[in-house]
Chain A
Amino acid sequence: MTAASETVSPEKPARGGGRPSFLALLVANRLAAFGLAVLTLIALAVLLTPFLPLQPPDITNPANRLLRPFTEGHLLGTDQLGRDLLSRLMWGARVSIAVGLSATLVAALIGSMIGLVAGYAGGRTDNIMMRGIDMLMAFPYILLALAIVAVLGPGLMNALYAIAVVNIPFFARNIRGVALGLSRREFVDAARLSGKGHLRILLTEVLPNVLPVIVITMSTTVGWMILETAGLSFLGLGAQPPQADLGSMLGEGRKLLFTAPHVSVIPGLMIFALVMSINLVGDGIRDVLDPRLKSGALSRPAAATAVKRETTPAMPETPSDAALDVRDLKTEFHVGSDVYKAVGGVSFQLRKRECLGLVGESGSGKSVTAMSLLGLVPTPPGRISGGRVLYKGRDLLESSEAELRRLRGGAFAYVFQDPLSTLHPLFTVGDQVTEAIRAHQPLGYREAWKKAVELLETVRIPNAAERANSYPHELSGGMRQRVSIAMALANDAEILVADEPTTALDVTVQAQILKLMDALQDDKGAALLFITHDFGVVSEICDRVAVMYAGRIVETGPTEEVLSSPAHPYTRKLIDCVPVLGEPDRRLDAISGIPPVVNRLPEGCAFAARCPYAEPACQNGDIGLEDLGPGRAVRCIKPLAAATPEAAT
C-alpha cells in the first residue's frame, strides 16, 4: 500500500478481519437494537413468569376489584374480578406469544412447502397452486380468518389455525419466487443428473438456499400474526374464559372503559410494545439478510451538487474569450469513509463554435466533469471540492441554485446517453420538449407546443406533429435521441454538452445522429462539448480533443494531430482500439489491466501500471501537463516521439 492511498482515507477504522457477525450488524442498526432490547426483556419476563413471585392470575377477590395501578400489592391494579393485572398480563403475554409463534411456524411450514413444490415443479403444478394462493389473497386479510373461525367455532386453537391459513400465501409466494430461480440453476441440474430424487434435491439443495427468505418472511409476519390473534381474542372469537391472552383481556376490559380504563389500556400497551419491538427486529433482520431491500438506503440527490472547495484557483485578470473556461475542477464522491476522486483537477477551455471531444474509458471522470459544470452531480455522495468554472466572467461554482437553474437548459443544454432512461416515461415527448421551452421562455402551453413540434421537425423526426403525442417507449432509440437533442436546442443554447449521445444506439443510427449534431452545431453556432469513449466518433465531429484518465486530462490537442501522432501511451492505446475498415490485420488489443480505482490513486502517473513504457520515475511525484507546441500538451515524462511506428506490445 502506498503512502498516497493511506492519506485518502485516514479515518477509516481498522476492522478485525472477516465479515462482522449477523448479530453485530443487527445491533449496529440503532432501531433494531432498541427493538431487540425490548423484545429480549419481554421474552425473559415471559419465560420466567412461572418462577416470579407473582400472584396467581385466576384467583378472584371481589373485595379488591378494580384497584388502580400502583396500589400496594398490585403494581398494575386489579380487574373487575379483583385479579392481579400484572400477573394476568404476564400469563396473557405468554399465551399471546405462544399462539403467535405457533401460527407463524404453521404458516411457514405449509406456505414454504407449497412455495418449494410450486417453484421446483414449475409448469402446470406451479400454475394451479399459485392460482389457489392468489384466490386466498383476493380476500381482505382478516375476513378469511373470520370465516374460518365462524365455521370451526370460537376458541384459541381455531384462531391460531385461521391466522396461520391467512398468512400461508405470503410464505408460498416469496418462497416460490426464489425456488423457481434456484430450480433453473446448474447445481440443481447437476443434482438431478446425479440421480438424486426430487424430494432429496428439494431438501438438500433448494431448501438451504431459500432458508433466508423463510426467515425474512417469518420475521416480518410474526408481529402481524400476534396482533391478529390478539384481535380475534378481542372480538371474543379467540381465547375463551377462563383462559386469557392479551386480546381477550383487552376485550373484557373494554366494557369498563369509562370507569376503569387501566384494565384495557395496560394489555393494549403490552400488545403494542410486543408488536413494535418485533417489527423493529424484523426490519433489522431483513436489512442484514437482504441489504438490497434496505429502506432508506438510497439517498435523495439534492437540486445542485454541493460545493466545498479546498482549492480555488485565482480568478484570471482578463477573462478569456472562450465560451467556457474550466480551471482545476475537482469532484469527489464520499461513500462511507471512502473518498473517490472522480475528477482530480481538470482544466480546459471550450472555444466559441468549436467542438471539443472529452475522451476516456468508463470511469475516467469525463461524464462527472460534464455534470459538475452545472451542479448536476448527485449530492450525496458527490461534492465539488475545488476549481472554477468560468462562464462570461462569472464562476458558476459560486452561483446560487436559482442562477444555475436559469442556465440549465438555457445557455447550457445537455444531451445524455440513454434516451430511454433519460426521457420521462409518463409524459409525451411533445410535452417534455414544451416543458423545456416554457422553463425559459414566457410562452403559453399551445404556443410552446407549436414551437416544440417545429423543433422536432428540425431534428428530422418524420410526422413531428403526430409524433409529439407519442410516449418515449413508443419511439425507436434513434428517434428518442432526436427528441433529447430537440429538447437541448429548445432555448438556443450557447454551449451544448453531449454525454455519449450515440453510445446506446445502433451503428447506422449513430452515424445519422452524429451528422445531425454536426449540422446543427454549425447551424446554430453553439460550442459543443462532446463526451465519448470512441476515437472513431471523435475523428468525425471534434475539432480538438482532450483525453482523460483516472480523473485527469492526460493529453490534449487538435484532433488530427492527436490522432496521427499521439504523445501519451494511453492515447495511442485508445486509438488502436478503433477498428478500421480495410485493415483486418490491425490488432484490436483491449488495453490490458483495468483503470485504477479513484479512491486509491497511486503516486505519479495513474497509467504507469498498465503502460508498456513505464519506468520507476513514472511513479514519483506529481506529473504535470507539459506543453508540446501550440495547443498540444501531455501528462507524461517520456512522451512518444511523433514517428514511433511500433506502439502496441
Chain B
Amino acid sequence: MLAYFLKRLVMAVPVLFGLTIIVFLIMAMIPGDPATAILGAYATPENVARINEQLGLDRSLPEQYFIWLGNMLQGDFGRSYSLNRPVIDEVLERFNATLILAGASLVLCTVFGLLAGIVSAVRQFGWTDRIVTFFVLIGISMPSFWLGLLLILVFAVNLRWLPPSGMYAIYGGGGPLDLLTHLALPAFTLSVVATGVVARLTRAAMLEVLRQDYIRTARAKGLSERRVIYRHAFKAALVSVIPIIGIQAGFVLGGAVYIETVFQWPGIGRMLVQAISTRDLLLVQGGVLVVAASYVLFNLMADMAQHALDPRLKT
C-alpha cells in the first residue's frame, strides 16, 4: 500500500509540473506590457526597464519559466503588492479556511449523495426515488451563489438561527461551536450540486450492480436483502463512485469562490476575487497554484481509496 502510494505520488509530479506550465503560460498572456500593467501610473520608461530586468522579462520564455519555477520551489511566490506581504503567507493562511469549507462540503456530499443514491436505487420508481430524483434535478441546476443568498434570507435574516456571514463571530467568537454555526450554511450551499451529482451516479451504479450475476449468487446463498444491498451491492457500487467523489473535490474547491464571496468566508476563493479586482496577479497566481495542487492531492486520495477497496487494481 505504501509502495503504491509513493508510486502514485511520483506519478503526480508531472501533473503538478503541467499545472505550473499552464499557470505560467496564462500569466504570460497578459495583454500589453506587464511592467506597465504592474506600474500603472508610475510607468515611466526607466521604471518599466527596471521592472523588466527585475522580473527577468528580458529573457526567453523557457528561461523565465525555470527561474519562476525555481523561485516557487523555494517557497518564493513573490510579494503581494496590494497586501504588501509575501504571497505564500497570505495564501496558506487563507487556504486553511477554504480547506475547512471544502472539506465539510465534501463530507456532506459524500454522505448524503451516497445515502440518497442507495435509497433511490433500492426504492426505484417508488415515492422516495421520485422525491430524491426531483431534488437531485433541482440541486444540479441550482446557481449556488443564488441558493446561498436565499439561505441567508431564510435562516439568518428571517429565522435568525444562523449567522449570515464570516467564519467566527466578531465579538467573543472562536471555538469549534462558533465555527460550526458559521460553517453550516456555506458548507451546505457548496455541497448541494456535488450531492446531486454523487446521488445520481450512485443510483445508476447501484442499479447496474444489482443486475450483476454475483448479486444473484448472493441471493441464491440465502443472504438477507439488507446484506445483499449494503454489503454486496454497495461495495461494488462504491468502487465506481469514489472517482466521482474525487472529481467533486474539484467542483467544491472551485465553487468555493462563489460561496466564500456570498458568505464572506475568509478563504482563498474570496481572496482570488479581491486580487483580480485589484489586479494583484502574483496573489492570483499563488492562490490558483495552491488550490490546483490540493485538487491533485484530493484525486490522489480518491485513487488510493479505490485501490484499497478493489483488489483487481493491485497489479
Enumerate chain A interface residues (CB-CB to B < 8 A): 31, 131, 134-136, 138-144, 146-154, 223, 227, 230-231, 234-237, 250, 254, 257-258, 261, 264-265, 268-269, 271-272, 275-276, 279-280, 295-296, 298-301, 303, 371, 374, 376, 378, 401, 405-410, 413-414, 416, 418, 421-427, 435-436, 439-440, 471, 473-474, 484, 487
Give the tally of cross-chain contacts (CB within 8 A).
239
User: Which residues of A lie under 8 Å from residue B277 when comparing CB positions?
Assistant: 154, 236-237
Q: A140-B251, A413-B220, A416-B213 are in contact. List 9 more A-B contacts (CB 8 A).
A: A131-B18, A139-B295, A140-B292, A227-B143, A268-B149, A298-B211, A376-B219, A422-B214, A426-B236
Q: List 19 A-B contacts (CB under 8 A).
A: A138-B296, A143-B292, A146-B272, A149-B276, A153-B31, A227-B143, A237-B273, A261-B149, A265-B150, A268-B143, A272-B142, A279-B137, A279-B141, A296-B133, A298-B204, A301-B211, A409-B222, A414-B220, A435-B221
A639 to chain B, nearest CB (A): 37
Bitwise interface map of B from 135 to 170 toward A, beta carbon under 8 Å scored 1, else 0: 001101111011001101100010000000000000
Given A303-B228, A416-B213, A424-B232, residue A235 in contact with residue B141 (CB < 8 A): no
User: Which residues of B lie under 8 Å from residue A275 when comparing CB positions?
Assistant: 141, 143
Complex contact A426–B311 (CB within 8 A): yes
Complex contact B153–A257 (CB within 8 A): yes
Complex contact A135–B21 (CB within 8 A): yes
CA A31 to CA B141, docked complex, whole Å: 14
Complex contact B257–A424 (CB within 8 A): no
Complex contact A279–B210 (CB within 8 A): no
Q: Which of A149, A234, A250, A413: most chain B Cβ within 10 A?
A: A234
Could you say which of B31, B215, B309 contacts A152, with CB atoms under 8 Å apart? B31
Complex contact B149–A257 (CB within 8 A): yes
B31: nearest residue on chain A (CB-CB)?
A: A152
Complex contact A301–B210 (CB within 8 A): yes
B80 to chain A, nearest CB (A): 13
Which 3 interchain pairs have the tightest Cβ spacing? Answer: A268-B146, A409-B222, A135-B18
CA A474 to CA B295, docked complex, whole Å: 34
| Stretch with Cβ within 8 A of A (4 or more), from B22-30, B82-90, B106-114, B179-187 | B22-30
A162 to chain B, nearest CB (A): 10
Tell me if B223 is interfacial: C-beta within 8 Å of chain A.
Answer: yes
Could you say which of A151, A257, A261 contacts B281, with CB atoms under 8 Å apart? A151
Complex contact B291–A408 (CB within 8 A): no
Tell me if B115 is interfacial: C-beta within 8 Å of chain A.
Answer: no
Complex contact A487–B221 (CB within 8 A): yes
Complex contact A235–B257 (CB within 8 A): yes
User: Which residues of B lie under 8 Å from residue A471 when comparing CB positions?
Assistant: 311-312
Tell me if B230 is interfacial: C-beta within 8 Å of chain A.
Answer: no
Complex contact A409–B224 (CB within 8 A): no
User: Which residues of A lie under 8 Å from residue B296 when comparing CB positions?
Assistant: 138
Tell me if B48 is interfacial: C-beta within 8 Å of chain A.
Answer: no
A169 to chain B, nearest CB (A): 12
| Stretch with Cβ within 8 A of A (4 or more), from B1-9, B60-68, B70-78, B117-125 | B117-125
Complex contact B311–A436 (CB within 8 A): no
B23: nearest residue on chain A (CB-CB)?
A: A147
Complex contact B288–A146 (CB within 8 A): yes
CA A47 to CA B270, docked complex, whole Å: 36
Given A376-B216, A439-B222, residue A257 in contact with residue B251 (CB < 8 A): no
Complex contact A258–B157 (CB within 8 A): yes
CA A378 to CA B220, docked complex, whole Å: 12
Complex contact B207–A150 (CB within 8 A): no
B235 to chain A, nearest CB (A): 5
Could you say which of B220, B255, B276 contacts A150, with CB atoms under 8 Å apart? B276
Enumerate chain B interface residues (CB-CB to A < 8 A): 15, 18-19, 21-23, 26-27, 29-31, 121-122, 124-125, 133, 137-138, 140-143, 145-146, 149-150, 152-153, 157, 200, 203-204, 206-208, 210-225, 228, 232, 235-236, 239, 249-251, 253-255, 257-258, 261-262, 272-273, 275-277, 279, 281, 284-285, 288, 291-292, 295-296, 309-312
Complex contact B141–A142 (CB within 8 A): no
Complex contact B221–A151 (CB within 8 A): no
Complex contact B22–A405 (CB within 8 A): no
Given A300-B121, A300-B207, A301-B210, residue A135 in contact with residue B310 (CB < 8 A): no
Complex contact A279–B140 (CB within 8 A): yes
B275: nearest residue on chain A (CB-CB)?
A: A150
Complex contact B149–A143 (CB within 8 A): no
User: Which residues of A lie under 8 Å from residue B21 when comparing CB positions?
Assistant: 135
B151 to chain A, nearest CB (A): 11
Complex contact B254–A140 (CB within 8 A): yes
B253: nearest residue on chain A (CB-CB)?
A: A140
User: Which residues of A lie under 8 Å from residue B204 when comparing CB positions?
Assistant: 295-296, 298
CA A380 to CA B117, docked complex, whole Å: 20
User: Which residues of B lie under 8 Å from residue A303 when comparing CB positions?
Assistant: 219, 225, 228
Given A234-B258, A298-B211, A301-B210, residue A376 in contact with residue B220 (CB < 8 A): yes
B287 to chain A, nearest CB (A): 9
CA A445 to CA B230, docked complex, whole Å: 19
Complex contact A151–B26 (CB within 8 A): yes
B69 to chain A, nearest CB (A): 15
Complex contact B253–A143 (CB within 8 A): yes
Complex contact A426–B239 (CB within 8 A): yes
Given A138-B296, A147-B26, A258-B157, residue A276 in contact with residue B143 (CB < 8 A): no
Could you say which of B137, B138, B219 contacts A408, with CB atoms under 8 Å apart? B219
A89 to chain B, nearest CB (A): 14
Complex contact A140–B213 (CB within 8 A): no
Given A149-B276, A295-B204, residue A142 in contact with residue B222 (CB < 8 A): no
CA A254 to CA B148, docked complex, whole Å: 11
User: Which residues of A lie under 8 Å from residue B23 when comparing CB positions?
Assistant: 147
Q: Which of A146, A231, A300, A408: most chain B Cβ within 10 A?
A: A300
Complex contact B262–A254 (CB within 8 A): yes
CA A298 to CA B120, docked complex, whole Å: 13
A491: nearest residue on chain B (CB-CB)?
A: B222
B30 to chain A, nearest CB (A): 5
CA A142 to CA B258, docked complex, whole Å: 10
Complex contact B236–A424 (CB within 8 A): yes
Complex contact B222–A473 (CB within 8 A): no
Could you say which of B146, B218, B291 contacts A250, with CB atoms under 8 Å apart? B146
User: Which residues of B lie under 8 Å from residue A299 when comparing CB positions?
Assistant: 124-125, 207
A205 to chain B, nearest CB (A): 33
CA A341 to CA B132, docked complex, whole Å: 35
A335 to chain B, nearest CB (A): 14
Complex contact B219–A152 (CB within 8 A): no
A627 to chain B, nearest CB (A): 35
User: Which residues of B lie under 8 Å from residue A421 when comparing CB positions?
Assistant: 212-214
User: Which residues of A lie under 8 Å from residue B133 when comparing CB positions?
Assistant: 296
Q: Which of B19, B31, B210, B218: most chain A Cβ within 10 A?
A: B218
Given A138-B295, A257-B152, A276-B137, residue A300 in contact with residue B124 (CB < 8 A): yes
Could you say which of A134, A143, A227, A378 contacts B257, with CB atoms under 8 Å apart? A143
User: Which residues of B lie under 8 Å from residue A153 when comparing CB positions?
Assistant: 31, 279
CA A440 to CA B222, docked complex, whole Å: 8
User: Which residues of B lie under 8 Å from residue A408 when comparing CB positions?
Assistant: 219-222
A239 to chain B, nearest CB (A): 14
B102 to chain A, nearest CB (A): 9
A640 to chain B, nearest CB (A): 38
